[in-house]
Amino acid sequence: MIVVSTETVPGYRITEVKGIVQGNTVRAKHVGRDIAAGFKNLVGGELKGYTELLTEARREALERMLSQASELGANAVVNLRFATSMISAGAAEMMAYGTAVVMVQE
């Protein structure tokens, strides 16, 4: 499946729009990650535990979005976007969304 953040793909033509597709996941912080992040805040640097958490969340949201696109019969998703929002203290939602389409090579 072709997935792009643009409206078009060079060399392809959209023949059918299947609709908006989305995938999301809600993740909570881990106490161990919070403790490590607290120490890291004292000296600065990347919070690797949180980086891994967000990477996993993006991957899962993307997979769920692509599954929905496949169910609609799409072979591509255009205008891919990611969004995140806080659900509660310590938990956040990651969402992937875009437009499922059928494309043919020109």
**What local confidence, expressed as pLDDT, does residue 17 receive?**
98
* Positions in the chain short of pLDDT 50: none
pTM of the model: 0.83
Cα 45 to the center of its chain, rounded Å: 25
**What local confidence, expressed as pLDDT, does residue 38 receive?**
55
**What local confidence, expressed as pLDDT, does residue 6 receive?**
97
Torsion angle of alpha carbons 59, 99, 102, 56, nearest 10°?
0
**What local confidence, expressed as pLDDT, does residue 49 receive?**
73
**What local confidence, expressed as pLDDT, does residue 95 receive?**
97
**What local confidence, expressed as pLDDT, does residue 32 receive?**
53
| Domains in the chain with CATH codes | 2-105 (3.30.110.70)
